[in-house]
Structure 1
Amino acid sequence: MPSKQQKIDSVKNISEDLKKFKTVAIASNASLPAKSYNQIKKKASGKAKIDFARHTLLLRALDSKPEYADLKKYLGNGSVLLLSDLDAFKLYKLFKQSKIQAAAKAGQIAPNDIVIPAGETNLPPGPVLTDLKNAKIKAKIQGPKVVITDDAVVAKKGEVITPQVANILSKLGVKPMEIGLEVKAVFDNGMLYEGSVLDIDDEAVKNNLALAYQQALNLCVFAGIVNKDSVVPMIQKASREANALQSLVKEPASN
């Protein structure tokens, strides 16, 4: 158990860190194994610092700066502080991408559909065939190996992972779970963001922006709204329409 002086020093050091970085986040490391925590810390090195201490010590450190009053409510047991000069969105993305694949345990919720593809396995024939059957995976013996004959969805997104499924996933070496630091909230330049707000699919955003741009451009062209983006398509449209009209005028009258 830390001594009184160690606690004082811990609060002092964290308070000093809070002055050095512009962005501060609270994340949960509940049930995160020490090995995985160290791997994530290594991935974030140079981009973000992780301060870990008891809940009460983190609370005292945050008390040193009044602007963190709203951030404090996101503190809980197993919380850590993430400190960085990255903006809120980049900091969230950094730790989202730092998550590590992990084996599934019975009782956990499947984060996505867990699919076992058809094909050869490294499993030797024997009792494992019963394990596969219990997990509703069709398989057969082919030479010295067990072969899965059909793709199998052993757990759908949101379903509870059964002991039978967890057992066979372990034997197949499939790690469908993601573990890491869950960012609860981020304070950046006077703004407080909840983690859920920062969870953005970059590709989806790009596609939506491209679609919105195209729809706006089409509206400008057909409504006759001239701007730097619509002027060329409008000229092209007018040219096509003029050519079509000219073709009609030149077309000889039918007898």
Structure 2
Amino acid sequence: NNNNNNNNNNTNVDIQPNSSIDTKENITSDNSNSKVSLTKPLNYARGKLNPLLNQTIKRVISIDSQYRENKEDLSTEFTFNLSDPLKDVVSLKLYSVQIPYTWYTINNNFGSNFFVFTARSPGIQDDAGINDFTINVNAGNYTAQELVDTLNSSIDSLKNTISDISFGTTGLSLNPNTSLVTINIDINKRYNETSYYLKFLGYPGYPSINNTINAEDQLIDAKKSFIPSILGFTDSSYNLFHINSAYNSPTLTNDTTRYQ
């Protein structure tokens, strides 16, 4: 400024607009003969997604699976309603993800918490699976040794609950050097009196009763020559764990009669 004699220096700076932002809009008159044009500055910058950048509102949405409405749905697949609707959404971006360690390596949802000793030999193989034994382990996270110990505990519980099966040395062992598990199977079926019944082969049934002969005498005459009647048994078969008091054969009270 030449009119001022002070030491202040005024500097004029010419600011050029960024080439990627339109700051002016040229409006030309519809009259083709007119050379007058109007230059009007814009109060906003144009963008590719949203030309009205000054009207963009950013919202942060937090989604927490523990607050899902239906707890029966999986925490990895569920639907939810926003408290406020979002309209005219221009773009979405994932900001962050937090994945907690809440699932189990051994999970009953996928059938990874049990295995079965299945009978396959003739005589014990059946469709009902009566002779099959299931080894279960509760859902959870285990170290290798903890998993082996838990499975062995499940086998031990079978030993205590199934009396007619001997599991012997059946169990699992872990090799700490190779991290491999060995399963030893030692299963034997135990048979006792509950597995058998006493049967006298050839023992006659009750004969037809002759009205001229006493029914009891006729029965004795028919059976007294068979070993069951000699021993004092009256039926052809017995359950060994439940035997009733038997009928006394007269031949057993005759001291002069001997059987060889």
**TM-score calculated relative to the size of structure 1:** 0.19
Question: Is the helix fraction higher in 1 or 2?
Answer: 1
Higher Rg of the two aligned structures: 2
**TM-score calculated relative to the size of structure 2:** 0.18
Larger relative contact order (Cα-Cα within 8 Å, sequence gap ≥ 6)? 1
Question: Is the strand fraction higher in 1 or 2?
Answer: 1
